[in-house]
């Protein structure tokens, strides 16, 4: 089973690119952001706990997302692997993922990192705000907090996976098709 991580700052295009990757490589897409938004929409206790954190652009506690991922791994769908989008997002989550996979006799296959500059993050999210109506896209201060949180808490995992020889970065600027081509060229190696 393959366990690929789609990494990148907010608005880099993870969700956009995941759609074709799951089809092309027969993967199960696990987006912790999307899972949390459906918990909020369903009004579950977990959703209620996560709502105010997400809407302020802060991370939810590590154990919440780790539990969500562990239960999806356990249900073992008939796929060639998993595509993790938005997880892990802290060093603690990366370590928890390694421990979860070790128990299954597995390991992270590769980290595919979509990189764009901060100015482009703000532009893409402002555009999406007019289309999708996500609460955490609604105000520039919330978007800035997500960008700051990314730099402080998430970016350090680049070093974690680089040290393990698993980190692969691609240029996330250009058209959706151009970025998809760069991702395919990389994915075909694993």
The binding site for ligand AP5 (CB under 6 A) comprises 8, 10-16, 32-33, 36, 53-54, 57-60, 65, 86-87, 89, 93, 124, 127-128, 136, 146, 175-176, 179
Residue 89's binding partner, choosing from Mg ion, ligand AP5, none, with beta-carbon cut-off 5 to 8 A by kind? ligand AP5
Distance, in Å, from the CA atom of 90 to the CA atom of 92, rounded to the nearest integer, reads 5
Distance, in Å, from the CA atom of 180 to the CA atom of 177, rounded to the nearest integer, reads 5
- Which residue has the closest beta carbon to Mg ion? 15
Residue 46's binding partner, choosing from Mg ion, ligand AP5, none, with beta-carbon cut-off 5 to 8 A by kind? none
- Concatenating the DSSP letter of every residue in 126-137 gives HHHHHHH--GGG
Nearer to Mg ion, 102 or 123 (CB): 123
Nearer to Mg ion, 14 or 146 (CB): 14
**Which residues are CB-neighbours of 188 under 8 A, at least 6 positions away?**
none
- Which residue has the closest beta carbon to ligand AP5? 33
Residue 94 and residue 161 in contact, taking contact as beta carbons nearer than 8 Å: yes
Distance, in Å, from the CA atom of 151 to the CA atom of 104, rounded to the nearest integer, reads 31
The residues of the shown chain that bind Mg ion, judged by CB under 5 A, are 14-15
């Amino acid at each position: 089973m393959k366990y690929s991580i789609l990494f990148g700052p907010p608005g880099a295009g993870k969700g956009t690119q995941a759609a074709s990757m799951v089809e092309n490589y027969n993967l199960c897409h696990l987006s912790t952001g999307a899972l949390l938004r459906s918990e909020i929409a369903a009004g579950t206790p977990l959703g209620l706990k996560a709502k105010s954190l997400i809407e302020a652009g802060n991370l939810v506690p590590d154990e919440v997302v780790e539990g969500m991922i562990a239960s999806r791994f356990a249900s073992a769908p008939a796929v060639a692997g998993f595509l993790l989008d938005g997880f892990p997002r802290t060093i603690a989550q990366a370590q928890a993922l390694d421990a979860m996979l070790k128990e299954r006799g597995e390991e992270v296959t590769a980290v595919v990192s979509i990189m764009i500059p901060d100015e482009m993050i703000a532009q893409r999210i402002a555009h999406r705000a007019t289309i999708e109506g996500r609460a955490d896209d609604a105000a520039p201060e919330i978007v800035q907090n997500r960008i700051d949180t990314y730099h402080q808490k998430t970016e350090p995992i680049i070093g974690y996976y680089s040290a393990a020889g698993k980190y692969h970065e691609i240029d996330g600027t250009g058209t959706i098709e151009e970025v998809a081509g760069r991702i395919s060229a990389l994915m075909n190696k694993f």
